[in-house]
């Protein structure tokens, strides 16, 4: 039975934080087994919120702990360190009464089988409350503690976006909107909006995106009518725009080259009666594609393979469209996945750029003359985006850039050379890059 102190979600968040920050696990992966131990959906939601708060505040929290802990904790007390971290982050966020947050952290320490540390946790958190201003002044003041990002990433974003870098960083620390995609095979947008209204959920369509709806308040998936029946998917506006770039028509043969977890593949199938081949090298992500298509009553040819090695999976028939949603730094979706800033390293960028180049060159020969390759990333870094596509066009003289979808002239973002870049938060959208190339 859950205790009234709220200790369980604090202890759960501390465990996940350790897995993310010490072991390099993605938070979604680390959260799943921990949240399964929580009975209450409110506790699961609170665990996620506490974890995301710490990810956004980690440099300042770790700097404060250096001041507060005159002697570093022993390795066996590492989880207590993260309970303290969650507690400090929660106190800095001030969403709960201070005494309740402190008490919950103390009780979480008991749950961690560290009763001998409860007095220390209580004393340090109460000292922070008494001396907040001086302690934060004493903590090392750097751009990293100010913005909540690693220094290398701040520098990389500033270099690419000298006029926008502060807005990009600030947006990465904001709470993202909840965007849904209407399954047009299931019902119309008007019918879907009416069903939401009957459930007491306020929502509005997003201009220019035929299937996108934004909820005006947070809601659990189970409260969204017809979700399990296939009426909806959760997908950001930027990700939904990819279907328009593909210029789909019935009967086209389409390759989704890096299909997992399947949102764009499903949207393409909802849009037109196409022959879709979804290739994914990660078996778990391919399983997600299959599960999502099954819920939406859609079907595609699912292929577990390395798309960069067509000789192992390709049947020899050329494609009319290729969607390459390439592996990237994900720096455009940090507001949804704040752990990304700590999971990525500066050295990762070179590897990602090389992988993107390899994939582009591998799928290009699979495209029919007159066919269109759509290259998409959820990154804001130029090396992965317009510089990557410019380099591709230099290598392939039979490629010609295609203009953005004409039906949406007021799309958020701006033209870059080549392609289109949406920065995080523009129009409420996530940060994405798009480029379409026709094979001549």
For 32, the enclosing helix (H) or strand (E) is helix 27-35
Q: Are the C-beta atoms of 368 and 316 separated by less than 8 Å? A: no
Give the three-state DSSP class for 438. Answer: strand
Using CA atoms, how far residue 133 sits from 2, 54, 92, 107, in Å, is 35, 19, 11, 26
- Cβ atoms of residues 367 and 398 within 8 Å: no
Output phi, psi for 415, to 5 deg: -70, 135
* Residue 189: both structure tokens together: 């947008």
Nearest Cα neighbor of 307 from 351, 377, 362 is 362
Query: Of 282, 270, 382, 265, nearest to 321 (Cα)?
Result: 265
Question: Is 35 among the catalytic positions?
Answer: no
Q: Which position among 35, 189, 258, 378 bears the catalytic label?
A: 378
SS in 3 state form for 366-422? HEEEEEEEEEEECCCCHHHCHHHHHHHHHHCCCEEEECCCCCCCCCCCEECCCCEEE
What number of CA atoms fall less than 13 Å from residue 335's CA on the CB side? 24
Look up residue 344 and give its two tokens: 């990525």
Residue (of 39, 300, 333, 327) closest to 177 by Cα position: 333
Angle at 275 between CA 269 and CA 277, to 5 degrees: 90
Per the listing, tokens 């502060």 go with: 166
Task: Give CA–CA dist 307/259, Å, rounded.
Answer: 10
Active site residues: 378
């Amino acid at each position: 039975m859950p205790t009234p102190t709220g200790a369980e979600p604090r202890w759960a968040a501390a465990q996940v934080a350790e897995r993310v920050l010490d072991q390099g696990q993605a938070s979604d992966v680390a959260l799943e087994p921990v949240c399964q131990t929580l009975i209450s959906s409110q506790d699961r939601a609170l665990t996620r919120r506490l974890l995301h708060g710490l990810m956004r505040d980690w440099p300042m929290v770790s700097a404060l702990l250096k001041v507060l802990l005159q002697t570093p904790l022993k390795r066996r007390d590492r989880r207590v360190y993260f309970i303290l971290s969650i507690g400090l982050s929660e106190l800095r966020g001030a969403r709960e009464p201070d005494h309740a947050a402190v008490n919950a952290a103390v009780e979480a320490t008991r749950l961690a089988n560290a009763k001998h540390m409860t007095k220390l946790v209580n004393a340090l958190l109460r000292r922070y409350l008494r001396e907040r201003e001086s302690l934060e002044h004493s903590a090392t003041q750097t751009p990293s503690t100010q913005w909540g990002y690693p220094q290398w990433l701040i520098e990389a974003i500033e270099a690419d976006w000298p006029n926008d870098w502060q807005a990009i960083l600030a947006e990465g620390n904001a709470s993202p909107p909840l965007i849904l995609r209407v399954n047009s095979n299931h019902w119309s947008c008007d019918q879907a909006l009416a069903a939401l209204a009957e459930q007491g959920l306020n929502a509005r369509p997003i201009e220019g995106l035929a299937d996108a709806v934004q909820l005006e308040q947070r809601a659990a998936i189970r409260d969204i009518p017809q979700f399990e029946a296939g009426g909806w998917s959760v997908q950001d506006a930027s990700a939904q725009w990819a279907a328009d770039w593909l210029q789909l028509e019935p009967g086209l043969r389409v390759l989704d080259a890096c299909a997992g977890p399947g949102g764009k593949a499903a949207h393409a199938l909802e849009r037109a009666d196409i022959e879709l081949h979804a290739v994914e090298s990660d078996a778990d992500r391919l399983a997600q594609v299959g599960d999502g298509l099954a819920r939406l009553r859609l079907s595609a040819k699912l292929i577990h393979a390395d798309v960069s090695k067509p000789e192992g999976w390709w049947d020899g028939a050329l494609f009319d469209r290729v969607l390459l949603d390439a592996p990237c730094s994900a720096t455009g979706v940090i507001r949804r996945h704040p752990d990304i800033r700590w999971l990525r390293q500066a050295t990762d960028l070179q590897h990602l750029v090389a992988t993107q180049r390899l994939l582009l060159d591998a799928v290009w020969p699979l495209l029919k003359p007159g066919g269109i390759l759509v290259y998409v990333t959820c990154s804001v870094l130029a090396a992965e985006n317009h510089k990557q596509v410019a380099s591709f066009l230099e290598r392939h003289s039979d490629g010609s850039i295609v203009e953005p979808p004409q039906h949406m002239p007021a799309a958020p973002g701006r033209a870059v050379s080549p392609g289109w870049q949406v920065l995080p938060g523009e129009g409420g959208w996530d940060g994405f890059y798009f480029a379409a190339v026709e094979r001549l």
